[in-house]
Amino acid sequence: MGYVKALRKRLLTRGQRSKVGNAIQEIATKLEDEKPPGTSTVLSWMRSFELSQMNPAALLSGNRHRLRERTLSTLVEEVIVKKLRTVYLTRARHTLRHTLDQIRIELDHKVKQGKILADHAKVSLSTVSRRLAELSPYDRDRARYGVAYARARFRTSVEGVTAVRPLQRLECDHTPLNWVVICDRTGLPLGRPTLTIIVDAFSGYVVGIYVSFYGPGLTSVLNVIKNAIQPKDEFAKAAGAKQPWIAFGIGETYVLDNGLEFHSPQFELASWELGTDLEYCRVRTPWLKPKVERFFANLDHFSLANGRVHKLKSNELRLDPSKDACITFSDLVTGLIRFVVDVYPFELNSRRLQTPFELFKEGIDFLPPPTFLSSTKQLDMIAAMSKQLTVAQGGVDFHGLNYSSRELLDLKKAIGSKFETLVKWNPDDLSYVYLKHPRTDEWLVLPSLLREYTDGLSWVQHKLIRKHAREKHVAGGGQERLMRAKQELHELWMNPLARRNRRQDLRTAAKFSGLSSNQIVLAETTGLQSPMAASQIVAPEEVCITMPDTPSYEGFRMRSL
């Protein structure tokens, strides 16, 4: 580089060979080079430098990148590659020195077999390390630790698809909560709740929540979307929150993971009904939904000792959380609402130096959210669980419960005394089911024949009662046995609460029925409200038709021919 720069400063070109030769001796004296290069060598340097657009890398020696011939034989190279693949690049995660020992043992067998010479079987640790370096670090970690570990380690935080306004991108996900909850009204155990939330990707503000007791599924996802769309001032007031819950409206894009409920055709139908887009994240990439994952990381703020689910540890007394559960459903929902309304939205964002509440409020003040959904009846039908059942003399027999009405009698007369059809039910309220007309695809709402048992009864509670009846062998018929088992569980769970002088506010609990399992906490006086489906419903039991008055006509007789 010194020779090339000196010649360019002297304004010498490659065609001036004699002048370049004379200048080389002068330049070598200044550079203190005892062995100056020849004229042809310097001219080749100038040519490479100028043709590479003055790139200094063109002056590097060719020996820098030349392919060196390996001194090891092909058989030794095959043994090294084989042991690296079968010993080092495995989930056992053996060390490289252990791999070298296995290579030497294999080569000793080759020497004894006469396949290679003893001098050629000598392999050093540096040689094995160089062969391992030929693989990419990502492939090495993927083989030793798994794809998820390698992907998380070599990921790079870049500016990808970001939201620039509220409700542009909404992140949705599930998580199980670490408590066992009981019903406010009946005292029956509801089980371990699953929290489904929607978080705004622009501000990190919680848009909607839903608590279910049947695990993550299509029903919980559609219900949290309904909760996110509607205004939630009544929920915040019922929970005693000091701040308003200002989130409502339909999101433009829902960012989801790869759960089966998100890929179901019913969920796609719901997205068409809402007019929104669905975006699925790559498998095992939680950083693509950072807002909702951050919320789950900060969720464990409730210091509830009784009824808490703990991870199993060795040499530890295992406690049954269902035996000391004391948190009621309304108390759990009250704590969740206060957390998402009063606590979490006011934690300062260290990057933007603004709270989620401020970011969301500024965004909706500048651009109000769209609220085009006039009714959620279609979503209710999509969210209901479904199963192909047989309709017989007792109506619809659904796990020990019978559903029937006078409209079903007319339907059986037209189709047959026994047929199969699709039946849908709300997992939060078993007081009614939907029955699909086999020919017209219309939906008929069938009430339960055991109203005093099914009013406000959830699918989880019904399965628990049936299990209790089978285990305890409660005497009596089918319906009497269920009623007796339900009363036994009621006394079993409510008596400990009564001894603690715990008051139950059913009126407050009923207000939370919209953002959590719907009919679980309603008062006993709640009657059956037949929900209207999206398609036409068969006529109700009593239809009053008013006919117009028949006008009077004058009589006449025709003449016979």
* Per-residue confidence (pLDDT) for residue 503, from 0 to 100: 44
C-alpha angle with apex 346: 171 to 348, nearest 5 degrees?
90
pLDDT tens for each residue of 217-241: 888 898 899 899 988 888 888 888 8
Contact 184, 509 (CB under 8 A): yes
Quick one: 169-379 is in which CATH superfamily?
Answer: Ribonuclease H-like superfamily/Ribonuclease H (3.30.420.10)
Q: Which residue did the predictor score with more confidence, 104 or 461? A: 104
Q: How many CB atoms lie within 10 A of CB 228?
A: 27
Is a pLDDT exceeding 70 seen at residue 263?
yes
* pLDDT range class, residue 208, cuts 50, 70, 90: very high
Cα(132)–Cα(228) distance, integer angstroms: 52
Q: Shortest CA distance to 535 belongs to which of 435, 446, 447?
A: 435
Contact 253, 163 (CB under 8 A): no
Q: What is the DSSP letter of 61?
A: -
Cα(483)–Cα(490) distance, integer angstroms: 10
Length of the chain: 561
Secondary structure (3-state) at 174: strand
Q: Which of 101-105, 146-150, 184-188, 354-358 has the lowest mean pLDDT?
A: 184-188
Q: Which residue did the predictor score with more confidence, 400 or 483? A: 400
Residues contacting residue 486 through CB under 8 Å, at least 6 positions apart: 186, 188, 453, 465
Q: What is the mean pLDDT of residues 336-343?
A: 88
Q: State the number of CA atoms in the 13 A half-sphere of 151 facing the CB.
A: 10
Cα(430)–Cα(482) distance, integer angstroms: 14
Q: Shortest CA distance to 436 belongs to which of 396, 397, 406?
A: 396
Cα(219)–Cα(196) distance, integer angstroms: 10
Quick one: 16 exposed, middle or buried, by C-beta within 10 A (0-12, 13-18, 19+)? middle
* pLDDT range class, residue 522, cuts 50, 70, 90: very low
pLDDT tens for each residue of 125-146: 999 998 999 888 999 999 999 8
Tokens of 148: 């998820």
Q: What is the mean pLDDT of residues 6-23?
A: 91
Contact 284, 153 (CB under 8 A): no
C-alpha dihedral (231, 232, 233, 237), degrees to nearest 10: 170
Is a pLDDT exceeding 80 seen at residue 358?
yes
Q: Which of 49-63, 273-287, 372-386, 527-541 has the lowest mean pLDDT?
A: 527-541
Tokens of 411: 């339907």
Going from the C-alpha of 93 to that of each of 23, 135, 328, the distances in angstroms are: 61, 16, 48
Q: Which of 53-62, 415-424, 471-480 has the lowest mean pLDDT?
A: 471-480
Contact 454, 401 (CB under 8 A): yes
Secondary structure (3-state) at 46: helix
Residues contacting residue 84 through CB under 8 Å, at least 6 positions apart: 99, 128, 131, 132
Residue 18 CA, chain-centre distance (Å), reads: 76
Considering the entire predicted model, what is its pTM? Answer: 0.57
Residues contacting residue 376 through CB under 8 Å, at least 6 positions apart: 226, 229
pLDDT tens for each residue of 92-114: 999 999 999 999 999 999 999 98
Cα(376)–Cα(374) distance, integer angstroms: 7
Is a pLDDT exceeding 90 seen at residue 304?
no
Q: What is the mean pLDDT of the chain?
A: 78
Q: What is the mean pLDDT of residues 1-26?
A: 91
Is a pLDDT exceeding 70 seen at residue 528?
no
State which H helix or E strand residue 482 sits in.
Answer: helix 478-499
Residue 343 CA, chain-centre distance (Å), reads: 24
Q: Is the torsion defined by CA of 401, 407, 411, 412 positive or negative?
A: positive
Cα(200)–Cα(8) distance, integer angstroms: 61
Phi then psi for residue 8, to 5 deg, are: -70, -35
Q: Which residue did the predictor score with more confidence, 314 or 287? A: 287
Tokens of 196: 């489904």
Contact 214, 459 (CB under 8 A): yes
* Per-residue confidence (pLDDT) for residue 39, from 0 to 100: 92
DSSP 320-349: -TTTS---BHHHHHHHHHHIIIIIGGGSPP
Give the residue extent of every domain in the chain: 2-64, 74-153, 169-379, 387-514
Task: Compute the radius of gyration of the chain from its Cα atoms.
Answer: 38
Q: State the number of CA atoms in the 13 A half-sphere of 423 facing the CB.
A: 23
* Per-residue confidence (pLDDT) for residue 378, from 0 to 100: 74
